[in-house]
Amino acid sequence: MKTSFDPTQAAQALSNLQNIIPAPAEVHSSGGIFKLADHTPIYVDPGSAEGKIIGMYLADHLKPATGYALPVLPAAGTLPPGRITLTAAGADLGLGAEGYELVITTDSLTLRAPHAAGLFHGVQTIRQLFPAGIESPAVQSGPWFLPTLTIRDYPRYEWRGMMLDVARHFFAVADVEKLIDLLAYYKMDRLHLHLTDDQGWRIEIKSWPDLARIGGATEVGGGPGGYYTQEDYKEIVAYAQSRYIMVVPEIDMPGHVNAALASYPELNCSGVAAEPHTGIDVGFSSLCLDKEITYQFADDVLGEISALTPGPYIHIGGDEAAASKPDQYIGFIQRVQASLRSSGKQAVGWEEIAKAKLLTTTIAQHWNSDLALQAADQGAEVIFSPADRAYMDMKYDESTQLGLIWAGYINVNRGYTWDPATNLNGFPINHILGVEAPLWSETLQTLQDVEYMAFPRLIGYAEIGWSQQTVRDWNGYRDRLAAHGPRLTLMNVNFFHSPEVPWKE
């Protein structure tokens, strides 16, 4: 049956194309439409387990709103018109580890990528090419069509992440997994979990059981806190992996350790356990760097967290160690990064670690000084998290109830209108590993609080990490972001309706 060409459908299809975030690298539209039908097959490469999983993921995200069958089948023999194909066959290796090519004609949709992560990112683009109603959990009236086009897309930076502080306040596995789904929707690929701090130790360590039992028993404000068992942590890691997101765990040392000092008297120079801390001041605690047991503790903890973490990166914190003696701080950082490398991991640390002699495999995270320059001078790669641009715990403006203001207000515009390549004067751009937006939780207690501070600003950081600087401008982004309001609502995200954005209904 010849589908009649409806110019309004083509116009609607094009408007979705213009609202993709992060903005794709190369887009060519040809003005036609591809109509999804009830039994449109989703073909995947025969024998590719990952291809099948991604095909099922696509089907699972299109079925609720369309009510269509959308069978996922191995591609074999001649394929019928009116099909979707996800394949590595014939993919351009130049697209790299995460790139993809999407070709939509009037009778087929072909998503090609040399690696599974690219297919997965291409699926997010397909989701955004449908009207917002595609994200509805209930069947919507169709028709469901896509614009005919070619998209070639690949990320600017390989590190595109968010940090969630689960130490000041604790968040359940399910909350973290909802965040992971949202990170995936915007093509982010790193989730840095800030697991330990003065107010809480949030990860079970079997060789030091009181860390979670005692150190996880409270939080800022004195609430019940909580912690992840090692099974919980493995569940989070596996869930993230299934969304092509790497979990980067942080054990913050030698400062920010009051929860550990409250759990084990022997970790204190005094031999007496510290009192639990439920306030929000920083920089007052340090491991006792005079004692050998401290280094045993660090090795045991990092050994266990490394064994639970498939990714190569382990974050050792290193920030605000005012209570540690400078020479002992340097010795500690150097010792810990070396022991991590001996277990095949790369250390990541806040930029203060640049005071030590870094291994070339060690990564520094820029947040509020020019120590990142010293890290780069030593050959380290640097993740950009400038506090005055990317700290999502900063209030949007004077009216924001949640959050802090020590790094200044960060509204949606300020969070978006910067470029890592020009953020630090004289920083060598070939040492920029990517972007990460930290969300510290001193003032956040629920997932709704987290969503309110993270959205919509996180969407801007996702674009800074993925899109070329040449395709980014505030006016264009603002209007594209406006079209994501209905999508965020349908995905049940408690986002801040910033007055800067002309939100669509």
Q: Which residues are catalytic?
A: 320
x/- contact string, 418-457, with ligand IFG (CB under 6 A)? ----------------------x-----------------
Total number of residues shown for the chain: 505
Residue 489 CA to its chain's centroid (Å) = 20
Question: Minimum distance from CB of 25 to ligand IFG (Å)?
Answer: 32
Question: Minimum distance from CB of 252 to ligand IFG (Å)?
Answer: 8
Name the residue nearer to ligand IFG (CB basis): 352 or 500.
Answer: 352
# residues contacting ligand IFG (CB under 6 A): 9
Question: Minimum distance from CB of 325 to ligand IFG (Å)?
Answer: 20
**Pairing relation of β-strands 100-105 and 108-112?**
antiparallel
90: buried, middle or exposed (CB in 10 Å: 19+, 13-18, 0-12)? exposed
Question: Minimum distance from CB of 403 to ligand IFG (Å)?
Answer: 9
Cβ-proximal residues to 47 (8 Å cutoff; 6+ apart), any chain: 74
Contact between 320 and ligand IFG per CB under 6 A: yes
Name the residue nearer to ligand IFG (CB basis): 394 or 462.
Answer: 394
Contact between 384 and ligand IFG per CB under 6 A: no
Name the residue nearer to ligand IFG (CB basis): 145 or 350.
Answer: 350
Q: Which residue(s) pair with 190 in the sheet?
A: 161, 246
x/- contact string, 341-360, with ligand IFG (CB under 6 A)? ---------x----------
Name the residue nearer to ligand IFG (CB basis): 16 or 411.
Answer: 411
Angle at 455 between CA 347 and CA 179, to 5 degrees: 55
Question: Minimum distance from CB of 39 to ligand IFG (Å)?
Answer: 52
What are phi and psi for residue 316, nearest 5 degrees? -105, 10
Question: Minimum distance from CB of 57 to ligand IFG (Å)?
Answer: 34
Instruction: Answer whether 496's CB lies under 8 Å from 456's CB.
Output: yes
73: buried, middle or exposed (CB in 10 Å: 19+, 13-18, 0-12)? middle
Distance CA 444, CA 228 (A): 18
Name the residue nearer to ligand IFG (CB basis): 170 or 350.
Answer: 350
- Rounded to a whole number of angstroms, the CA Rg of the chain reads 24
Distance CA 211, CA 263 (A): 5
Instruction: Answer whether 42's CB lies under 8 Å from 87's CB.
Output: no
Distance CA 270, CA 275 (A): 13
Closest to 85 measured CA to CA, from 34, 137, 130 = 34
Question: Minimum distance from CB of 330 to ligand IFG (Å)?
Answer: 18
Closest to 287 measured CA to CA, from 315, 317, 250, 308 = 317
Closest to 25 measured CA to CA, from 419, 417, 471, 435 = 471
Q: Which residue(s) pair with 233 in the sheet?
A: none
CB atoms within 10 A of CB 430: 7
Exactly one of 37, 73, 359, 404 binds ligand IFG (CB under 6 A); that residue is 404
Name the residue nearer to ligand IFG (CB basis): 98 or 197.
Answer: 197
Exactly one of 120, 313, 391, 452 binds ligand IFG (CB under 6 A); that residue is 391
Tokens 């097959």 correspond to: 41
Question: Minimum distance from CB of 201 to ligand IFG (Å)?
Answer: 14
Contact between 393 and ligand IFG per CB under 6 A: yes
Contact between 282 and ligand IFG per CB under 6 A: yes
Name the residue nearer to ligand IFG (CB basis): 170 or 239.
Answer: 170
Instruction: Answer whether 347's CB lies under 8 Å from 318's CB.
Output: no
Tell me how far CA of residue 478 lies from CA of 23, 85, 154, 386, in angstroms.
12, 33, 22, 21
Exactly one of 120, 157, 367, 461 binds ligand IFG (CB under 6 A); that residue is 367
Contact between 323 and ligand IFG per CB under 6 A: no
Name the residue nearer to ligand IFG (CB basis): 222 or 279.
Answer: 279
Which residues form the interface with ligand IFG (CB under 6 A)? Answer: 282, 319-320, 350, 367, 391, 393, 404, 440
